[in-house]
Structure 1
Amino acid sequence: MNKNQAFPWDHPRFRSWIGVARACQLMQQAVTRAIADLGIKPPHLDILVNLYRFQGISQQELARKLLVGRSNMSMLLPQLEKRGLIERNPDAKDKRVLRLSLTAEGRALTEQAMTIQTGLIERIMSQTPEDRCLQVAEAMEDIIRILQTLETADDEEEG
């Protein structure tokens, strides 16, 4: 870094990015504490909520939605299956594909966890006016689109 160049933390966009990252980290910690009594952690909750929304999704599709590798899935899914919260069944057309679904117990636990998570989000976000919350959401959606475009461009360059 040369003497004329500003430090990253002096840049307003860097400050904004660090603020988002810290908020995510602190929220993750708050969610972890809030759902601890249910015997699940945020990665489990991510899986359960996605299965609640997309019943019958494949393991590969779920990993893609959660932006994680198959190795992460292969560690977490057996834990949920062993607890009787999810089922993995072969696809009717392609036996190599496993379809995931919630059991009745998994559905009930997911609903409890979503209620806790939603309550926590509401408690935190209600202290900020709705229009500012929407501005943050729009900014983050823009960033997601930009990052996805960059990822696609990088993939095309490599391929």
Structure 2
Amino acid sequence: MMNKNQAFPWDHPRFRSWIGVARACQLMQQAMSRAIAGLGIKPPHLDILVNLYRFDGISQQELARKLLVGRSNMSMLLPHLEKRGLIERRADAKDKRVLRLSLTEAGRSLTEEAMAIQTGLIERALSPTPAERCLQVAEAMEDLIHILQTMDADDEPDDA
């Protein structure tokens, strides 16, 4: 129980900053869902497609690690994209247990369309904010990512 001399979490600047980032992220996800709904994909699909666009031939495991999702979550998302003919999975030439992912021509085309929508939405949302301030926020979030990843690594048990 808090006593009356204790500050509430929402009175702290860092808490306010964190809540602001979390709400902005949630609202952007909702706006993105609406913006790309006509393409028949959702934001998690877009994350996969954009990463395959950037890193053609990435393994399923590497993709899951980049997107910070478990393999089971990845296994649920990929079949939808594969059935639509947007991606293909192929066994690695050296290790048949490893699956490599690539966009098909249709996948590449849809990803380019989705990226244009995404870029437009981000531009509309952030255009009132000076580029210098956007970079400051980006740097602060990159610092936070590093801190959280370091904390996560510190919390992992040692293999004894």
Q: In which range does the TM-score fall when normalised by the shorter chain? A: over 0.9
1:99 corresponding residue in structure 2: 100
Aligned ranges for residues 1-159 of structure 1 at < 5 Å?
1-3=1-3, 4-155=5-156, 157-159=157-159
Q: Percent identity?
A: 82
Match of 2:69, SS state, is coil
C-alpha RMSD over aligned residues: 0.9
State the alpha-carbon separation in 2 of the partners of residues 158 and 19 from structure 1: 35
State the alpha-carbon separation in 2 of the partners of residues 14 and 124 from structure 1: 23
TM-score (normalizing by structure 1): 0.97
State the alpha-carbon separation in 2 of the partners of residues 16 and 132 from structure 1: 14
Aligned residues: 158
Match of 1:40, SS state, is coil
Shift of 1:123: 1.0
Contiguous gaps of at least 5 residues in structure 1: none
TM-score (normalizing by structure 2): 0.96
Shift of 1:152: 1.1
State the alpha-carbon separation in 1 of the partners of residues 103 and 6 from structure 2: 53
Runs of 4+ in structure 1 displaced over 3 angstroms?
none
Shift of 1:158: 4.5
